[in-house]
Amino acid sequence: MPRQPRLDAPGLLQHVMARGIERRKIFLDDKDRKSFLERCAGILEETQTQCYAWALIPNHFHLLLRTGPTPLSKVMRKLMTGYAVTFNKRHKRSGHLFQNRYKSVICEEDPYLLELIRYIHLNPLRAKLVQSFDELDRYPWTGHSAILGYSKNPLVPSEEPKEYKKLKEPKEQTKTLAEKTIEDLLLHFGETQKVARRVYRDFVEKGIAQGRRPEFQGGGLVRSAGGNKTGLLGRPKEEREKGDARILGTSGFVNEALMQAGEDWEKSYRARMPLEELIKKVASQFNVQEKSILSASRKRNVSDARGIICCLAVNDFGYSTAEVGRALGIRRVSAAQCVARGKKMLLSREIHVNDKRSVFHWDDKELDLRD
């Protein structure tokens, strides 16, 4: 299934993740980590992109960003491409460093900002890069220690961009965006720095018992039966039904985020029909038995029905070819070929029922596919 287009708009909170190709390490030593963070610091300040949380794991990284006037795609391209070039040159390698493109999930701020900060900063402990929470307090490769003041914030650039220097009066001291971001974050926990840091640390420590949070890893509310529903238990039905894999939040926030990013929910997502029901309906329209569709039969009307099922499942209801393949008992690559076959039939009007050209009915709509 083709990837959905990225969603982005100024001011949106985004959880960004990227992994090394074939799950290989993208950070081999501390020099690599410093190189990544130095590059990240300069780019974030230059583009006025806030970073609330970050964690470097040997084969991937997490960032919690609020985009500014510069699109997230441009920020990440500069960061990842620049780092990959430096990494390859230093380690005398060539080829791609990262696995596919980065993954980003837009997050609703009120329920998820603090939860995601806690989740991201506990990553080194879950990955057993540190053995205790006390050790995490001083671990330099996550934002947790910088918030507590145990280490210098590496996202504060060593040099300000030239354009900012020109705007400042001589001897004027201004805080960097990274410093302001930590100050804003601590205000959620207390009015004084000392109290806020103590309350923040207690909040993060309580998250250890929660373990891994699948709903933070792959996008929030799901409407599809094939999606991950771990984070939806106990939510109202209307909130379970509207969602987008690129957005973590309530139904209202999903709509708002899509509109803010220039997308119309109703045009981009339909109610998702279970695959079993889809197979049954198409089998009925083609006057074939369901077991024939699920068999290895190559009869034309059976193959045509299979193609229509795959095309509708992927293009209308958002299933992946892997999901469709499992439902039909065929390989993913075969399901992808069926999608193309079904699309071609719909476009060319080559629909056959019982080896005769016919009318194909769908959801009370009659598509006259006869010449």
CATH, residue 298: 1.10.1750.10
pLDDT at res. 349: 52
Which of the listed residues 173, 197, 212 is the one where a domain comes to its end? Answer: 212
pLDDT at res. 185: 93
In a shared domain, residues 48 and 143: yes
Question: In this structure, is residue 125 part of a structural domain?
Answer: yes
Distances (CA, A) of 207 to 38, 215, 250: 29, 15, 22
In a shared domain, residues 65 and 99: yes
Distances (CA, A) of 271 to 97, 205, 213, 255, 259: 38, 40, 26, 15, 19
Question: Per-residue pLDDT averaged across 274-298, rounded?
Answer: 87
Positive/negative CA dihedral, 291, 295, 298, 303: positive
Q: Residues with Cβ < 8 Å from 359, sequence gap 6 or more? A: 366, 367, 368, 369, 370
Count CB-CB contacts under 10 A for residue 88. 14
pLDDT at res. 38: 96
**pLDDT beyond 50 at 269:** no
Percent of the chain with pLDDT over 90: 41
Q: If we measure between CA atoms, which residue out of 66, 56, 64, 10 comes closest to residue 35?
A: 56
364, amino acid identity: D
Distance CA 244, CA 254 (A): 7
Q: Residues with Cβ < 8 Å from 8, sequence gap 6 or more? A: 14, 67, 71, 72, 73, 104, 261
Of the listed ranges 59-68, 102-111, 213-222, the one predicted with least confidence: 213-222
Positive/negative CA dihedral, 329, 334, 338, 341: negative
Residue 365 main-chain phi, psi, to 5 deg: -115, 135
Question: In this structure, is residue 3 part of a structural domain?
Answer: no
Total domains in the fold of the chain: 3
Instruction: State CA 333 to chain mean position distance.
Output: 24
Place of tokens 């193959």: 303
Query: Per residue in 128-141, pLDDT tens?
Result: 999 999 999 999 99
**pLDDT beyond 70 at 238:** no
Q: Residues with Cβ < 8 Å from 170, sequence gap 6 or more? A: none
Residue 99 banded pLDDT, cuts 50, 70, 90: confident
pLDDT at res. 350: 52
Which of the listed residues 212, 236, 252 is the one where a domain comes to its end? Answer: 212
**pLDDT beyond 90 at 366:** no
Query: In this structure, are residues 6 and 73 in contact, taking their beta carbons and an 8 Å threshold?
Result: yes
In a shared domain, residues 184 and 332: no
Question: In this structure, is residue 173 part of a structural domain?
Answer: yes
In a shared domain, residues 293 and 355: yes
Which of the listed residues 171, 188, 212 is the one where a domain comes to its end? Answer: 212
Kindly report the CATH number assigned to the domain that includes residue 39: 3.30.70.1290
Distances (CA, A) of 82 to 60, 69, 85, 104, 105: 16, 21, 5, 19, 23
Residue 358 banded pLDDT, cuts 50, 70, 90: very low
In a shared domain, residues 73 and 183: yes
In a shared domain, residues 68 and 207: yes
In a shared domain, residues 50 and 180: yes
In a shared domain, residues 230 and 248: yes
Instruction: State CA 80 to chain mean position distance.
Output: 16
In a shared domain, residues 147 and 295: no
Distance CA 326, CA 258 (A): 31
Question: In this structure, is residue 96 part of a structural domain?
Answer: yes
Question: In this structure, is residue 70 part of a structural domain?
Answer: yes
Residue 363 banded pLDDT, cuts 50, 70, 90: very low
Q: If we measure between CA atoms, which residue out of 223, 248, 236 comes closest to residue 318?
A: 223
Residue 1 banded pLDDT, cuts 50, 70, 90: very low
Average of per-residue pLDDT values in the chain: 79
Give 46 or 358, the one with higher predicted confidence: 46
Question: In this structure, is residue 201 part of a structural domain?
Answer: yes
**pLDDT beyond 60 at 2:** no
In a shared domain, residues 38 and 187: yes
Containing domain of residue 346, as a range? 275-367
In a shared domain, residues 146 and 233: no
Question: In this structure, is residue 27 part of a structural domain?
Answer: yes
Question: In this structure, is residue 2 part of a structural domain?
Answer: no
**pLDDT beyond 70 at 57:** yes
In a shared domain, residues 199 and 228: no
Q: Residues with Cβ < 8 Å from 306, sequence gap 6 or more? A: 293, 328, 338, 341, 342
